[in-house]
Amino acid sequence: MGLRNLPVPGSKEIKVSSSYLREIAKEFQKDLDKLEEKRWSTVLEDTLPSEEAFGDYDGGHSFRNGTVRSARMHIGSTIDEFVMAYRNVIQALLRSAENYERAEENSKQGIEAAGRSGNNSGGGPNKMI
């Protein structure tokens, strides 16, 4: 990568908007809510085929109770992990927005404090008499 690939200060590439980060988080949350409404993990729990569907022989029963149950469990846990990761992205966006707002406020206060101290210098060493 290197320094030559960095964006130029003040360019649109590095402009951060806390309200835009919040908008993205809000849209992601809507998508997550829709996904969670579908209850994929629970639906998978409820969809194990009946024992009759695999016939009345040992191979069918062991396939249902081993392979099919295991697949259902792993798919369900994968969905749960995805939902958790998606939720973490939303939280990270919101934290970033808060951090950016805090940094802007601190910067603003620093500038104001510097301005006050510069205006009240009392004629320091550069004052001409």
Q: Is the pLDDT of residue 121 over 50?
A: yes
Q: What is the mean pLDDT of the chain?
A: 80
Most confidently modeled range among 2-6, 12-16, 41-45, 70-74: 70-74
* pLDDT in the model for residue 2: 47
Binned at pLDDT 50, 70 and 90, residue 12 comes out as low
Q: Is the pLDDT of residue 39 over 50?
A: yes
The span from the CA of 33 to the CA of 98, in Å, is 23
pLDDT greater at residue 94 or residue 12: 94
- Burial class of 93 by CB neighbour count within 10 A (0 to 12, 13 to 18, 19+): buried
Check if the beta carbon of residue 13 is closer than 8 Å to that of residue 7: yes
The span from the CA of 82 to the CA of 49, in Å, is 25
Number of separate helices (H) and strands (E) present in the chain: 4, 0
* pLDDT in the model for residue 126: 52
Check if the beta carbon of residue 26 is closer than 8 Å to that of residue 36: no
Binned at pLDDT 50, 70 and 90, residue 119 comes out as low
pLDDT tens readout for residues 66-114: 888 888 888 878 888 999 999 999 999 999 999 999 988 888 888 888 8
Q: Model-level pTM? A: 0.63
- Burial class of 97 by CB neighbour count within 10 A (0 to 12, 13 to 18, 19+): buried
Helix, strand or coil, per DSSP, at residue 7: coil
